[in-house]
Amino acid sequence: MANFKDVIKGIFREGSEEDDYVLPLDESGRLIRPMGTVRAVEHSFKTHDRSGGAQSDPDAVLPDKLPLDDESRALLEIADAVRGKAYAKYSGFRVGAALVGASGQVYLGVNIENASYPAGICAERSAICAAVSAGETAFSAIAIVGGENGEPCFPCGICRQVLSEFCGPDFPVILTDGVYSLGGLLPHSFSL
C-alpha cells in the first residue's frame, strides 16, 4: 500500500517544486491551506469494474460498495484533514468533504451549523458550493468523513439530492468503509 504522502504528493501548491513534500498542517495536525489552493490531480475513481467480465454488462447487478483503493484513501485523508475546520458548535459532529471536479481540481467543504438549525449547511453541499462558485459543475468523486471511530458518515438526503443535480447514478461516494454509487444511495432522485 502506498504511503498517503506519496499518493497526494503534488496536490497542494507550494512555493517551489521541491522533492521534500510537507503536508500543510498546523500544530494540531489540521490542514491549513484555504479552499482553492489544491492542484488538479489525475484520478480514476469508479463505482464498478469496467475492465470486463460480468461487471461490464450494463444490466449486471452492481455491488453495494467497492473496497477502498489508494486514491480513495488519499481523498478520505484530505476530507479528514479539512474536517477540523468544521463549525459544529451545537452538535459537535464535525464532517469534512473532498469533492473532485471533472477537471481534477479538489474542492473542500465542512459542515457549518447555526443556532437556527435549518440555516446550517452540510460538508457535501459546502464543497459543491465552493466548486460551483469556482465555475465547475461536473464532478468525478466525493469523499466524506465524519463522526467517531472511523464509522462511515453517509450523506443526508438533501446532500444526496443536491449531488444528483450534478452527478449521475454511477458517481462514486467514498466513505471510510468503501466506495458507494450515488444511485445506490439515492435510487429515486427527484428531477424536473
Residue pLDDT tens, the chain, 192 long? 444 444 444 444 444 444 444 555 566 665 454 444 444 445 566 665 444 444 444 554 545 789 999 899 999 999 999 999 999 999 999 999 999 999 999 999 999 999 998 999 999 999 999 999 999 999 999 999 998 888 999 999 999 999 999 999 999 999 999 999 999 999 989 988
pTM exceeding the 0.75 threshold for the entire prediction: no
**66-183: what fold?**
Cytidine Deaminase; domain 2 (3.40.140)
Query: What are the φ and ψ backbone dihedral angles of 144, each rounded to 5 degrees?
Result: -130, 130
Which H or E run contains 164?
Answer: helix 157-166
Of the listed 71, 77, 113, 124, which one is catalytic? 124
Tell me whether strands 172-175 and 178-181 are parallel, antiparallel or unpaired. Answer: antiparallel
Would you call 77 a catalytic residue per the annotation?
no
Domain range list for the chain: 66-183
Neighbouring-strand partners of residue 97: 109, 144
